[in-house]
Structure 1
Amino acid sequence: MKQLKVFAAALLLAGTAAQAQNADQPWAITVGVNALDGGRSSVATDFADRFGQYFQTDNWSILPSASVLNVSRYLGANVSFGVTGSVNKMKKVVMENGWDANGDFNGQRRIDATDLMYYGVDGHFKYSIGGLIGSKWFDPAVHVGGGYAFLGKASSGNVSGGAGVTFWLSENIGLNLSSTYKKQFEDEGVLRAQDVSVPSHFQHTAGVSFRFGGKDTDGDGILDKYDECPEVAGLKQFNGCPDTDADGIPDHLDQCPNVFGDAQYNGCPDTDGDGIPDHEDACPEEPGLKEFNGCPDTDGDGIADKEDECPEEAGPKANNGCPWPDSDGDGVFDKDDECPEVAGPASNKGCPEVKEEHIKQLNEYGKTILFNTGKSTFQEQSFAVLDNMAKVMNQFPNAKFAIEGHTDSTGSDKINDPLSNDRANAVREYLISKGISANRLSSQGFGSKNPIDDNKTVAGRANNRRTEIKLVK
């Protein structure tokens, strides 16, 4: 019973020869303890009778230290292969106890005290049942294989098989119990004190298994295959993506990732409390109106103060709050001219008209915009294209444009939809920085929902990854 208590205590302190890894963590290195059964269960004449004293621990031999080392590799389909080395000291073995008058063994045996060193090298294929029953923590398994055992000066090969169970405490650490029956090729059945052979025997192991080997580039504890941001350390609740400002919105979905914000504003703050987030608020520190992008209109003439040349005196919108003549000479007075500095027909309120060839030109530019893989940032050669788009749009001061982002079908909608939306918004923000009024531009991502070509070909997928510009009428 004392040996049983030592063996159970080892479960909490040592490792096991179990090979319970998976495709995510294909490698396992284990260190553990083992118990050798030197009693009747190992050498009974009837094979079935050898299991009769399986739970009798009086004849077990256990070293009070780590005595098992295993290295194993997952092969696939719940099967793994491992090589195990073990050492022990056989303290009790069944020996012959007498001979009849004819000099034949009389069938009597007794348990004798011995002091024989034991060494074993084994290779096992193991089949894990845990995956079949849908359990992540309870993992029963069976194993078969063979090896070679040394007992004192004797040695012989064996075939072996057994079963065990692993209780996974975490993704990488589990407690294991297992038993293996080793059928020795040179088992003589009767052991003489002066001529000991290696008997067929049971070997039991217990301990902790550590599995590893999955790729985690950013070291955040989330494997790359499950990590939506594999090169940037992040949080498990955000599938491996970071939340720099700790506002509960991951950076790749946060329009203001470095500033604590509100979910209703996509992670951006609203400093002046006017219901318009700062990144869309042209006057973020002064309460204003939504129609003026968050800026006030002191004189109530419908023109935001920052754009009103006469902010204290009401005036027509066409003249930026002040009356003036027809500056561009297009026949449309400034008070009615939405483009007082650019000539245009009266049918278009004094502004030049956007024609089909202009939209076609913008879309030709849009096809050549290149983003960094998986991101909404531009490749260097795309800035010249964006500048050309801004020049075209600036020719039509009152025209509004819708920017649409599209991806190919590679990846899931969960990734493609926000990515296409972020990319369309990135184009919008850049054009705004080049002088296009924010209220003239809108952006929206459609993911892979509106392909224009076959996603089964490289060329087709390239055509489907695009930015489209549409005139808003």
Structure 2
Amino acid sequence: MRNLFTTSVLLGASLLAASPRVHAQTADRKTAISLSANAFQYKGNYGSDYWNFTRSQWGPGISINRYLSKGLDLGLSGNYVEFKNPSQPAGSTNFFANNVVNVQLAFKLKLNNGWALKEDAFVQPYLVVAPGVAFTSLEGRYNGQALNGDDTRFSGMAAAGLNFRISDAIGVFVQTGQTVPFGVNLDGVTPRDNDSWDDRYLQHSAGLTVALGKAKDEDGDGVADRKDKCPGTPAGVAVDANGCPLDGDGDGVPDYQDKCPTEKGLAALEGCPDRDGDGVRDGDDKCPDTPGKAELQGCPDADGDGVIDSLDKCPNTPAGVSVDANGCPLDRDGDGVPDYQDRCPNRPGPASNKGCPEMKVEEKKKLQEATKFIQFEFDKATLKTSSYPTLDGLVEILNAYPDYSLGISAHADNKGDDNYNLRLSDERAASARTYMLSKGIPADRIVSHGYGESKPIADNATEAGRAINRRVEFDVYLPGDPNPAETKYGPAPEIPAAPAKAAPKAPVKKAPVRKAAPRRK
């Protein structure tokens, strides 16, 4: 008996030593150790103690269990008990004591496999089928003969139990099952039943299961990878039971990324609210209840001039117009005509003249009378020197009014070829322009055209009328206005090319006359 007890102790120690320390008996903790206290109830030739807990024999149990799947665990268990028949009357010659060590390979069918109960349910029912080996050591006396012997037999157990999940690593269980050590004579009674399993016992267990190791948690958030719905959470970030970063305001932006963690907001604004929906978070929006522009800190600007409506003293400014700090169009020359309407934004002038300075009466008169004093060489575009003073006077006017442009149009009478007259008038207008450019007037301020004989203002039938029609007119106009000559006479006609001159004929050389040779006398 002592040898069998020693064997059972060594077996229990070896089971403990063999258990790995780095797993668990769930999908995360796949290995666990269970310790149990067991009430064993004998049934044999001396009767049955089944379900009579006052006659139970008590003994320890130990097992190592390995997680295989949601529905199945595999275990290696060992139990020790000493069966006796204390119910025999005093002085009886028949008694026995049998030390039994049962080592079993247990297949646990778990009913919390996700079909009816979740794997992490608090109450976890299961069934066990456990083939094994029973080691027995019998002592006693039967009908005056001593009983003494050891035996080893194949055994089988079927059981049902409940596990109560305290935490991922700890469970408490209760279990009831029947063990049959086939062919074992537990009580030593020689006359036996005809079957080989007449001696058997119930085993009622209560115990503690401790899962070993640590669940795999790659992101270190305290939630096992198997249950972590948000793997890869940055280190140090607080998470919920599912391993997802906390989101106190429930706006879908985790607190560690939420710039407004106590207010529901938008992911696009780092979790901050935007009441008016203009894309500017309320904390930065100076007009949080009115949609506005981000560059204006969320305030509206209906005319788009860059000045918010509440400060704009000139609302509805046309698009693209430069404005001052009050939202009013710029007026650099201070003449009351805004620059975008002012033809002369750098020089003051009345609105009636589009913001440009008005010419003096005498200067307008010079322009009107200039045509009387412009003369050219006969049938040429060469200015006569008598024309210079008039043109110099016009240069002075253009210098005094640098925003004005000048249109020069030249005309001819109907004498001669039409194309020739058109070319001559264009050349005479260009000649006047060239003279004025030589006096420093920029080229883009003077335009010249010739109209030939197409726009008479007098009767060409008389010499006096033809003299009036041979004229050069000068018209000033503001930037953006059409050339007055084109307004009066229409677009200038296209100037025809001059006909090619015929090459001069080469003189015909006469052959030299030969003199007759003198006669010889």
What TM-score do you get using the length of structure 2 for normalisation? 0.42
Larger radius of gyration: 2
What TM-score do you get using the length of structure 1 for normalisation? 0.46
